[in-house]
Structure 1
Amino acid sequence: MSNVQEKTDVILIGAGVMSATLGSLLKELAPDWEIKVFEKLANAGEESSNEWNNAGTGHSALCELNYTTEKSDGSIDISKAIKINEQFQLSRQFWSYLVNSNLIRNPQDFIMPIPHLSFVQGEKNVAFLKKRFEALSNNPLFQGMEFSDDPVKLKEWIPLIMEGRISNEPIAATKIDSGTDVNFGALTRILFDHLQNKNVEIKYRHCVKDIKRTSDGSWEVKVHDLVSGQIEYHTAKFVFIGGGGGSLPLLQKTGIPESKHIGGFPVSGLFMVCNNPEVVEKHHAKVYGKAKVGAPPMSVPHLDTRYIENKKSLLFGPFAGFSPKFLKTGSNLDLIGSIKPDNVITMLAAGAKEMALTKYLIQQVLLSHEKRMEELREFIPNAKSEDWDIVVAGQRVQVIKDTVEGGKGTLQFGTEVVSAADGSIAALLGASPGASTAVHVMLEVLEKCFPQRMKAWEAKIKEMIPSYGVSLVEDQELFHEIHSATAKALGLSDNLPSQVHSSDAETKVLEKV
């Protein structure tokens, strides 16, 4: 068969939530640009974005304790929590714009209101939680948060967790009702349906094998059609690599200087899912605990009400694990294959530094069902083994790089955009809070890769995302208006207290969002 050779404006690699978000933004900002998407699997949102492969928490730092740290003077640093909350507000605004513009429908198919709680045990942790509550509840983004160490009140909030609890150890929780459960798999599929309606060509079962620079500065992408066996070559002026854990090997193939001295550390995960509807009905919240000493931040235990396939589910986890694969559907040679002459020292330094983490991950892999049940019983004292099954979650590849603060081979937690100096190619690496902040991250891609167009695009961006370029912490009135408008558009509860809205202002924001 002869090789296919085609030109296009934009190529998106990977049909996950990041490509879906970038594609949707570009279709509003540059509607005449031709976009092609290549996905190795048969459907959109099958890897990291899939609803069974992530926690579905609309990460807004309402309950995740690792986003607030205690400083040496005993005060609580809430800067990261504020940053992540503001980033999630951007996602809410963009989704609301798409709903209000009739570009997507039925937001309840991907987002549901759910209280977010933090739950801790032990005197030291209770003292930390109280200080955290005091620091956050004075901030407009976290208004409405409640704190209690009263077992009677906690029984009201989390009956399943309190049932059968006999320990005299101090316990406490914070609760905020404006949290969400997001089905990122459903959202990804909805966005790709929308892109298809906008004439975006999405090629499933197409695996990208290589990426090379052409003489005119474009990028040539070599693609294997897994159905016909044919090799295709597609060139574009701009390429985005949004292939989850698979992004790093493709970024390395580009050969751009920015791709050097970067490695990846794969972490797998398991969730326990409740198969007893009576138990599922007793819990209605996302409840995050504190990570055990030595555990990585992505292993914070949490008991989550989820809405998957329009059905209420209950999941507990994640239990971390180790697999050398960079994708759930990847190869056992992924990790070895990612070690190159330019990153070998970085990778070796990380290996030496992270011996404790590696040991922890191996211990997690070897846990028996009963050992996992013991961890679950710290949350649900009366949990029965027969009520819980195991689900294998998605692979996460944490970025390893040399940093000024951490030195050689520092393991990074979070998401990172790596782009060429001329903005012609960008890749997304890393993990949580990932999907929740997809709109913020893709705006960062646009700023890095299309700086010369941002001025012309700014008015449209602000129409879609009214708080773009504005600090919501500093503009409390705007935050209340936006929160209320997005809650209305997305069918969420607007639980912020003491809101003083001018109906005109709210209408104005609703028209924008």
Structure 2
Amino acid sequence: MLKSKNILLSETDVLIIGGGIMGATLASILKEVDSNLRVDIVEALSKPALESSHPLNNAGTGHAGYCELNYTPLLPNNRIDIQKAIKINAGFEISLQYWSYLTKKYPLFSPAKFIKRVPHISLVNGDKNIAYLKKRYFALKNNPLFKTIEFSSNFKTIGKWIPLLKSKKSVKKYAATKVESGTDVDFGEITFQLLSILKTKKNFHLRTEHKVLDINEHEDGSWLAKLTDDKEIKSKFVFIASGGNSLKLLQKTKVYEQIGYAGFPISGQWLVCKDPLVVAMHSAKVYGKADIGSPPMSMPHLDLRIINGEKILMFGPFASFTSKFLISGSFFDLISSVKFHNLKTLCIVFLKEWPLLIYLIKQNLKTHKNRMSDLRQFYPDAKSKDWHLEDAGIRVQIMKKTKKDGPKLEFGTEIIYSKQNNLAALLGASPGASISVQSMIHVVEKCIIKKERLSSWKSKIKKMIPSYDLDLEKNPKLLKKIRSTNQKILGINY
């Protein structure tokens, strides 16, 4: 336990480290259920949402399991496992419900600025992949959450769905699935709007350009976060949501639960097209299948994006190795995250995942010509001059020890909780932002709701999220009603 001699900047109930979509969502939910809670967000940069939540640093896909083939793997028994797709779809529905609630309550919250209806399409070619996609379609079609999914192996139909695919050079056999109610989401804009509402509330503070240097447990069980200029914030509960830097901050807490966790940073790049004639021809998010032996995050996709009202096309992602945990981070981030307790995890995972290292090396060696060749699998007539390369965000993939498989590399998101539930940290990458509301409600339930206010808080959450504590998969009538209402309120009905 630590007694501090630094300047105490603030005492608060909840300290959130990181001003991105996750931190802003948690703060928003907390202030909705209890306006008297003292909530502080500290952000190291001059503005919030400049890292992972920035629209050019992520795919902007409202992840719902409609088109992402890595969420529906083919099992050894030749069956399609759709459980992850179901879980993510249900999680995204919770986000939509909360955004609808905020839209009705606050004039400041404008969904027209952050969400658009953009169909989600899966595209494959070759007999084996077509057979997989057809099997996947039937597995999903029978589930109420995916009732509207369509399948076609007719090239004329697919050409209507994906006009850029049509070409006299196209001789391959294709198949595709489509869900018309997919979305494009600007998570940076959502973050700004959430914070704009929060700034109107009492007992809330957003402190930008405040970097957290250390986090120590105080003798009374609270936490002291040491900031730049020898200032500190004392908090009963701390949530670490600083993107790739969350692992390093979690390590500073020295809580037992972080033992064995390590991080592997991967940076990304997009091919971007802003030519209005080309952009006007494509109105979907089209996800392909990762090559055999490639990691799940290598799944190529050609996306329509709407950012600040401007439509652009993005293709990728193209991955590369970096030792930084944030775009604004240090090249020593990876080295400084290596500890005695996670060294074994790192070594074993690197030995297991050597194909990933080879993949990253190959990605680094790609030329513009190579990248354009990849793009032409989706858009055969693409012209090199119409596309330029832009950097995307950095994702720090989780490495951890597991009882079943030993040390392994994880490609999802995970929240680590301290034994006393007075601290939590968000690690990992996709589909985090899309299921941010569900994830933050879990944090509230596990760490912040006290027994004496359990009933009232849950009642308030139920008003915000009608499906709270219910399984929409087993309530198709409620699902239909909620989806219809949300789509109308958010302006994404069709």
TM-score range, shorter chain: over 0.9
User: When the two structures are superposed, what TM-score results if normalisation uses the length of structure 1?
Assistant: 0.93
2:313 counterpart residue number: 314
1:426 counterpart residue number: 424
Give 1:452 deviation, angstroms: 3.2
Specify the SS of the correspondent of 2:478.
helix
Q: What is the 5 A alignment of 1:457-496?
A: 457-494=457-494
Specify the SS of the correspondent of 2:19.
coil
State which of 197, 206, 209 in structure 2 corresponds to 1:205: 209
The separation in 2 between residues aligned to 1:165 and 1:206, in whole angstroms, is: 55
1:185 counterpart residue number: 188
Give 1:156 deviation, angstroms: 1.1
1:328 counterpart residue number: 327
The answer to whether the 8 A contact 2:8-2:234 is kept is no
Q: What is the 5 A alignment of 1:48-447?
A: 48-102=52-106, 104-167=108-171, 169-199=172-202, 200-224=204-228, 230-408=229-407, 410-447=408-445
2:3 counterpart residue number: none
Letter in 2 for 1:442: M
1:18 counterpart residue number: 22
The separation in 2 between residues aligned to 1:163 and 1:467, in whole angstroms, is: 45
Give 1:103 deviation, angstroms: 5.8
Give 1:320 deviation, angstroms: 1.1
Specify the SS of the correspondent of 1:483.
helix
In the TM superposition, what whole-angstrom CA distance separates every residue of 1:252-311 from its partner, at most 9, and x where no partner exists? 000111011100011111011013111111100000000111221111100000101111
1:500 counterpart residue number: none
The separation in 2 between residues aligned to 1:276 and 1:389, in whole angstroms, is: 11
Give 1:23 deviation, angstroms: 0.2
Specify the SS of the correspondent of 1:442.
helix
Letter in 2 for 1:208: V
Specify the SS of the correspondent of 2:55.
coil
Specify the SS of the correspondent of 2:160.
helix
Specify the SS of the correspondent of 1:283.
coil
Specify the SS of the correspondent of 2:246.
helix
The separation in 1 between residues aligned to 2:122 and 2:444, in whole angstroms, is: 35
Specify the SS of the correspondent of 1:41.
coil
1:504 counterpart residue number: none
In the TM superposition, what whole-angstrom CA distance separates every residue of 1:421-468 from its partner, at most 9, and x where no partner exists? 111111000000010000111111112213534433111111001111
Give 1:152 deviation, angstroms: 1.1
The answer to whether the 8 A contact 1:271-1:393 is kept is yes
Of 484-493 and 46-55, more deviation after overlay is shown by 484-493
The answer to whether the 8 A contact 2:215-2:223 is kept is yes
Specify the SS of the correspondent of 1:473.
helix
Structure 1 residues 198 and 165: CA distance shift in structure 2, 3 A: farther
Letter in 1 for 2:191: T
The separation in 1 between residues aligned to 2:314 and 2:234, in whole angstroms, is: 43
Provide the aligned C-alpha RMSD in A: 1.2
Letter in 2 for 1:258: E
% identical equivalent positions: 48
Structure 1 residues 465 and 104: CA distance shift in structure 2, 3 A: farther
Letter in 2 for 1:150: N
1:456 counterpart residue number: 456
Letter in 2 for 1:292: D
Of 81-90 and 67-76, more deviation after overlay is shown by 67-76
In the TM superposition, what whole-angstrom CA distance separates every residue of 1:204-233 from its partner, at most 9, and x where no partner exists? 111000000010000000011xxxxx2211
The separation in 1 between residues aligned to 2:30 and 2:492, in whole angstroms, is: 27
Letter in 1 for 2:123: F
Structure 1 residues 4 and 218: CA distance shift in structure 2, 3 A: closer
Letter in 1 for 2:182: G
The separation in 1 between residues aligned to 2:99 and 2:472, in whole angstroms, is: 18
Structure 1 residues 164 and 4: CA distance shift in structure 2, 3 A: farther
The separation in 2 between residues aligned to 1:297 and 1:267, in whole angstroms, is: 13
Structure 1 gap segments, 5+ residues each: 225-229, 495-513
Specify the SS of the correspondent of 2:293.
coil
The separation in 2 between residues aligned to 1:108 and 1:473, in whole angstroms, is: 28
Give 1:5 deviation, angstroms: 4.0
Specify the SS of the correspondent of 2:312.
strand
The answer to whether the 8 A contact 2:274-2:311 is kept is no
Specify the SS of the correspondent of 2:95.
helix
Specify the SS of the correspondent of 2:199.
helix
Of 349-358 and 92-101, more deviation after overlay is shown by 349-358
Q: Which runs of 4+ in 1 moved over 4 A?
A: none
2:7 counterpart residue number: 3
The answer to whether the 8 A contact 2:45-2:208 is kept is yes
Of 278-287 and 100-109, more deviation after overlay is shown by 100-109
The answer to whether the 8 A contact 1:275-1:389 is kept is no
The separation in 2 between residues aligned to 1:305 and 1:342, in whole angstroms, is: 43
Specify the SS of the correspondent of 1:57.
coil
The answer to whether the 8 A contact 2:449-2:457 is kept is no
The answer to whether the 8 A contact 2:109-2:194 is kept is no
The separation in 2 between residues aligned to 1:386 and 1:426, in whole angstroms, is: 47
Give 1:353 deviation, angstroms: 1.2
Give 1:45 deviation, angstroms: 0.7
The separation in 2 between residues aligned to 1:370 and 1:488, in whole angstroms, is: 43
User: When the two structures are superposed, what TM-score results if normalisation uses the length of structure 2?
Assistant: 0.96
1:510 counterpart residue number: none
Give 1:4 deviation, angstroms: 4.3
Structure 1 residues 164 and 43: CA distance shift in structure 2, 3 A: farther
The separation in 1 between residues aligned to 2:10 and 2:194, in whole angstroms, is: 25
Of 253-262 and 154-163, more deviation after overlay is shown by 154-163
Specify the SS of the correspondent of 2:471.
coil
Number of aligned positions between the proteins: 486
Letter in 2 for 1:412: E
